[in-house]
Amino acid sequence: MNDDPRITQLEILAAQQERTIVELSDQVADQWKTIERMQKKLDVLAQRFLALEEQTGPDVPITKPPHY
C-alpha cells in the first residue's frame, strides 16, 4: 500500500464530502415533505375561502355618490 499523506488526505476529504452530501440530501427530502404538507393545507384553505366567498351576498355595485 502507498502511505502517501496526500492520498490519505484526499480520501478523508472525499469521505467528509460524501457525508455532507448525504446530510444535505436528507435535509432537502425533509424540506420537500414539509412543502408538500404546506401545499395541501394551502389548497384546503383556498377551497374553504372560495366556498365562503360564494356564500356571501352579491357584490355591491359601485355607484357615484349623489353629490356628483
Contacts of 67 (CB under 8 A, 6+ apart): none
Write down the pLDDT at residue 66: 74
- The Cα 12–Cα 25 span in angstroms is 20
The distance between the two most distant Cα atoms of the chain, rounded to a whole number of Å, is 98
* pLDDT (tens digit per residue) in 16-68: 999 999 999 999 999 999 999 999 999 999 999 999 888 886 766 777 777 76
Write down the pLDDT at residue 1: 55
Write down the pLDDT at residue 21: 98
Write down the pLDDT at residue 35: 98
- Please name the residue ranges forming H helices in the chain: 5-55
